[in-house]
Amino acid sequence: MSKLSLERILQSQGFGTRKWCSQLIEEGEVSVDGKVIRDSRCVVETEGLEFSVYEEQWIYRALVYIALNKPANFECSRRASHHPGVLTLLPEQFNLRDVQPVGRLDHDTTGLLLLSDDGAFIHQQSSPKHHVPKLYHATTAEPVTPELVDYLLKGVKLHDEPAPLAAISCERVATHQLAIVLEQGKYHQVKRMLAAAGNHCTALCRTQIGNLRLEALCLEPGEWCYLEAAQLALLTTAAKL
């Protein structure tokens, strides 16, 4: 159980400075359980708290865990330079509470992207030391051959890596498409491995992290959802083709 003043609750949820949150409350723009509260210092139980700001409903979350179906031509950066940042696809409150992408997808890579304001979670999911498996579907310029699949499974040497990098699993799913599971999370890894193996990646989509599948989330490109405990647990289980 945890109780906080309503102004602190709004600030923690990304609605602005304490001064601004206090003003929202005093102007009658905030309701708790359907009741307008005008006292910014009113102490409220945070567990299971539902509130509204400008008549938009919110649930209090001490930390947020988000899945986004990333479209092409968005950058996984809080300071995007050449394309819009993925945070522009989310409510402004998430930016104010310092939600960050977990790792990065290239601007032209699509698919499952996690975001959170939980630093320990971000580190666990993005650090190569934790070996979180990720499933990608890659479209190739040249046909996918048995030799290409075998090469990716045995490991390819990249010029800036001390040892060959190998796929955990890999299979041909169409004449010019393969499914590949990696756990190292190196820079542009799928594209660089395909290039080193003598092919070229023309499109790339991440469809799974751990055992959390993008298709199970039913998100259209650009859509997002909160991840609850059962879905977060899937991130620690092995990815399977």
Could you say which residues of the chain have pLDDT below 70?
Answer: 1, 80, 128, 237-241
Q: Is residue 186 part of a domain?
A: yes
What is the model's pLDDT at position 240?
56
- The DSSP code for 27 is T
33 assigned to active site:
no
- pLDDT, residue 132, reads 85
Give the pLDDT confidence score for residue 236 in this predicted structure: 76
Q: Percentage helix, strand, coil, to 5, in the chain?
A: 25, 30, 45
Are 145 and 200 members of one domain? Answer: yes
Q: What is the pTM of this model?
A: 0.91
CATH of residue 224's domain is 3.30.70.580
Question: Are the beta carbons of 75 and 86 closer than 8 angstroms?
Answer: yes
Tell me, yes or no, whether 75 and 172 share the same domain.
no
Q: Is residue 13 part of a domain?
A: yes
Statement to judge: residues 41 and 101 lie in one domain: no
Domain that holds residue 176: 131-209
Residue 239 domain-assigned (yes or no): no
CATH code (residue 202): 3.30.70.1560
Residue 42: how many other CB atoms lie within 10 Å: 15
Other beta carbons within 10 angstroms of residue 105's beta carbon come to 22
Identify whether residues 142 and 176 lie together within a single domain. Answer: yes
Residue 188 confidence (pLDDT): 86
226 and 115 within one domain: yes
Active-site entry in 98, 106, 118, 160? 106
Examine residue 240 and state whether it is found in any structural domain, yes or no: no
Average pLDDT along the chain: 91
Are 97 and 147 found together in one domain?
A: no
Same domain for 12 and 53, yes or no, is: yes
Q: How many CB atoms lie within 10 A of CB 39?
A: 12
- When divided into structural domains, the chain yields a total of 3
